[in-house]
Amino acid sequence: MAAAIAALPGRAFDVIDTLYVVDDDNRLIGGVPLVDLFGAPGDRWVETLANAEAARAGPHHDQEYVAAEAHPAHTLRRVM
């Protein structure tokens, strides 16, 4: 946790409400709301906070499916 927070300053971000966690092959592990990130103990691993159930969309998904997932009735913040 402490290392993840220390790496944030000086970087350019498109999104500031959620930190997206990827593995060594840049595959999405999940998202961590910043409120959870800053509230966690410094010795906790970031991937343990990541929500692996976050909705995802790829080129094979129908646009209506993606729009439905992004609807405010869902808790999705971004479609990646």
The residue extents of the domains of the chain are 2-54
The reported pLDDT for the residue numbered 25 is 92
Higher-pLDDT residue of 31, 77: 31
CB of 75 within 8 A of CB of 16? no
Residue 71 has pLDDT above 70, yes or no: no
Full-model pTM? 0.50
Residues 28-70: pLDDT tens digits? 888 888 888 888 888 888 888 887 776 667 788 888 887 777 6
For 31-74, the DSSP string reads: EEEHHHHHHS-TTS-GGGT-BTT-----TTS-HHHHHHHHSTTS
The reported pLDDT for the residue numbered 14 is 67
Residue 79 has pLDDT above 60, yes or no: no
Q: Token pair for residue 17?
A: 């409400």
